[in-house]
Amino acid sequence: MAHAHAHSHSVKRYSGLMDWLTTVDHKKIGILYLIAGGLFFGIGGIEAILIRLQLIKPMNDLVSAQVFNELITMHGTTMIFLGVMPVIFALMNAVVPLQIGARDVAFPFLNSLGFWTFLFGGLLLNLSWIMGGAPDAGWTSYTPLSTTEYSSTHGVDFYTIGLQIAGLGTLIGGINFLATIITMRAPGMSFMRMPMFTWTSFITSAMILFAFPAITVGLVLLSFDRLLGANFFDVAAGGSPVLWQHIFWIFGHPEVYILILPAFGIISEVIPTFSRKRLFGYSSMVFATILIAFLGFMVWAHHMFTTGLGPVANALFAIATMLIAVPTGIKIFNWLFTMWGGQIRFTSANLFAIGFVPTFVMGGVTGVMLASAPADFQFHDTYFVVAHFHYVIVGGLVFGLFSGLHYWWPKMFGRMLNEPLGKWTFWTFAIGFHLTFFVQHFLGLLGMQRRIVSYLPNQNFDTLNFISTIGAILMGVGVLLFLANVVVTARKPSGVANDPWEDGRTLEWSIPSPPPEYNFKQIPLVRGLDAFWKEKMAGNKEMTPSEPLGPIHMPSPSILPFVMSLGLFIAGLGFMFSTEEFSNSFMSLIFNKYIVMIVGLVITFAAMIARSVFDDHGYHIETEELEGEGKA
């Protein structure tokens, strides 16, 4: 929209580190999410390898039982909250605005705030390793195990406070994407013309909105029990440990679908592109996604079959759980029918996508087995459950993320990942994955419990555990190959075509790779599903613009999100150590009198006030500039 006068006079443009700390550009925030997610994924991976090395043989003593508990807790927590979630957000940031033909997200400032709170929460959680012990009560942190009586270090405090801060970031991200998808779509992009990845991001964001506040409350209650002496989960004072389980899983089960839906979306983009066919059953895909999200909120108690809720509750939750297999099955067949008769190209992105389908089905099948409450009494808390959720999370989500990263890498960075290396990544990772987790089904059926530090020899566990550890190392090799690929690719010159796979169907492939900061010089007019493919089929090389060329308004960068998150981080540390007995009187003064906590909160609130009081006018990129860039 043209404006009388521009604000280019007041623009502050940073470079180098300050640029990254202050950016509100969703593409750069996507890259930040990717780096942070990759970092935590690496930490979680090292923890996983250590767990497997401890279990490689019976009666092993590589790590102590305490360290083992910390490893399994931090592995699960890190992977779920700090590893895969941010990589999902990385792809959502990098792709969703482009797919809907938008210049930006609805709330660029909040987008950046979401990233920084997530990062500082994650850092806080991981600081526990060097500040007196990591959390050790499992990623589910069941009470009473997680109360001060049985978990006396500050580990669980790092868990409750770190996850609260990180979770706030996720919630903000969810709201931002909901609003972006509702209001920022290009002309002609109706809901039923949105690409599947945008659809699944939309539904995932909605699930985040309704699931994360529940865990926030759970974490608050647990931290009040531990730090303020409250009695929510203390049976002796009338509290209820089962309450924690309900709150955790009312969040926890939707969370697993929050994770998998974006992967469904990625697969639904990659398979059509590399089959040169439109997605089979688009509207049934949309419908199945919504149904899964809906059902996902009513099955939480399938994690509590053995808690003693009674046969009626168990039966109802068992049936509701099994129902989810129906929309999931619809999706599986739609992907198969998309490939059917297509001209399939086995790029590394597509290998991961095709590999996803059978692997995820196996996880779904064990899921339905677990959903049978009587059978679950046998499976529960054994390696069978471990096998199940790794098939859906690694074989499903992580395959999907790798697929998406290979697919959109050229769009994000302007360079193609090396294809042979990508294929090596796939094969080592996929084979390693099945070696690691396939045998765990049998370990579980043979009676090996999850979360045990060692086992006695000659129970038929030895060989299977050995195989599992070898597989884990092979997966590690796969991840290293991917990292090598990233390094090799980063050294290549930038600059690939707009549509490097040549068969791109959606709007992101109609603009340069990487896109300019304003994404679309002119907002495109969308004339159907697979908007770009439609134009290509009509003989057009570009999208038809929906507006004349004009100056583009951009939001200004800001350091405030970083400052706000830093304040929360300081306040969290302050609250956590408020009951600690220090030998140093200065330390006890600043912590026990809540001074550190208050300083942190003051920093955060001061930044919020600054944000509210000083208007951000943004700046304009002028028409001449845009034309110049077009020619260059």
Structure tokens at 448: 């090996």
Least distance (Å) from ligand HEM to the CB of residue 226? 21
Least distance (Å) from ligand HEM to the CB of residue 164? 20
Number of residues that bind another protein (CB under 8 A): 45
- β-strand partners of 552: 621
328 binds, among another protein, ligand HEM, Cu ion, none (CB under 5 to 8 A by kind): ligand HEM
Other C-beta atoms closer than 10 Å to the C-beta of 465 total 21
Q: Does 445 bind another protein (CB under 8 A)?
A: no
Exactly one of 232, 335, 360, 379 binds another protein (CB under 8 A); that residue is 232
Q: Does 471 bind another protein (CB under 8 A)?
A: no
Nearest to 28 by CA among 40, 46, 13: 13
Q: Does 253 bind Cu ion (CB under 5 A)?
A: yes
Show the binding pattern over residues 99-118: x = contacts another protein (CB under 8 A), - = does not.
-------xx--x--------
Q: Which amino acid is at 144?
A: P
Structure tokens at 357: 């389908």
Other C-beta atoms closer than 10 Å to the C-beta of 544 total 14
Least distance (Å) from another protein to the CB of residue 6? 11
Q: Does 390 bind Cu ion (CB under 5 A)?
A: no
Other C-beta atoms closer than 10 Å to the C-beta of 152 total 11
**331 vs 536, beta carbon nearer Cu ion:** 331
Question: For residues 407 and 546, what is the distance between their CA atoms, to the nearest angstrom?
Answer: 28
Nearest to 519 by CA among 239, 186, 144, 271: 186
Exactly one of 152, 213, 374, 460 binds another protein (CB under 8 A); that residue is 213
Q: Does 329 bind another protein (CB under 8 A)?
A: no
Q: Which residues form the interface with ligand HEM (CB under 6 A)?
A: 140, 256, 259-260, 302-303, 321, 324-325, 328, 364, 367-368, 370-371, 376, 379-380, 385, 388-389, 392-393, 396-397
8 Å CB contact between 379 and 369? yes
**143 vs 506, beta carbon nearer ligand HEM:** 143
Q: Does 216 bind another protein (CB under 8 A)?
A: yes
Contacts of 6 (CB under 8 A, 6+ apart): 551, 619, 620, 622
Report CA torsion sign: 37, 43, 44, 48.
Answer: positive
Stretch that binds Cu ion, among 49-57, 249-257, 263-271, 581-589 (CB under 5 A): 249-257
Footprint of another protein on residues 153-212 (CB under 8 A)? 171, 175-176, 178-179, 182-183, 209-212
Instruction: Report which residue's Cβ sits closest to Cu ion.
Output: 253
Q: Does 626 bind another protein (CB under 8 A)?
A: no
Stretch that binds another protein, among 69-77, 230-238, 334-342, 559-567 (CB under 8 A): 230-238
**221 vs 370, beta carbon nearer ligand HEM:** 370
Question: For residues 356 and 40, what is the distance between their CA atoms, to the nearest angstrom?
Answer: 23
Least distance (Å) from Cu ion to the CB of residue 335? 23
Radius of gyration of the chain (CA): 25
Q: Does 396 bind another protein (CB under 8 A)?
A: no
Structure tokens at 204: 């995932």
Least distance (Å) from ligand HEM to the CB of residue 232? 21
8 Å CB contact between 425 and 485? yes
**256 vs 453, beta carbon nearer ligand HEM:** 256
385 binds, among ligand HEM, Cu ion, another protein, none (CB under 5 to 8 A by kind): ligand HEM
Structure tokens at 351: 């290998």
1 binds, among Cu ion, ligand HEM, another protein, none (CB under 5 to 8 A by kind): another protein
Question: Which residue is associated with the tokens 């300083």?
Answer: 599
Q: Does 553 bind another protein (CB under 8 A)?
A: yes
364 binds, among another protein, ligand HEM, Cu ion, none (CB under 5 to 8 A by kind): ligand HEM
Nearest to 389 by CA among 416, 367, 373: 367
Nearest to 352 by CA among 405, 393, 389: 405
32 binds, among another protein, Cu ion, ligand HEM, none (CB under 5 to 8 A by kind): none
DSSP state of 449: B
For 223, the enclosing helix (H) or strand (E) is helix 196-227
8 Å CB contact between 103 and 26? no
**78 vs 273, beta carbon nearer ligand HEM:** 78
8 Å CB contact between 318 and 396? no
Q: Does 45 bind another protein (CB under 8 A)?
A: no
Question: Which residue is associated with the tokens 């086992």?
Answer: 455
DSSP string, 235-251: GGGT--HHHHHHHHHHH
In degrees rounded to 5, what are phi and psi of residue 280? -70, 135
Instruction: For the chain, count helices (H), then strands (E).
Output: 22, 2
Using CB under 5 A as the criterion, which residues of the chain lie in contact with Cu ion when the complex forms? 253
Report the interface residues with another protein, using CB under 8 A.
Answer: 1, 3, 106-107, 110, 171, 175-176, 178-179, 182-183, 209-214, 216-218, 220-221, 224-225, 228-232, 234, 237-240, 243, 247, 250, 553, 609, 612-613, 615, 617-618
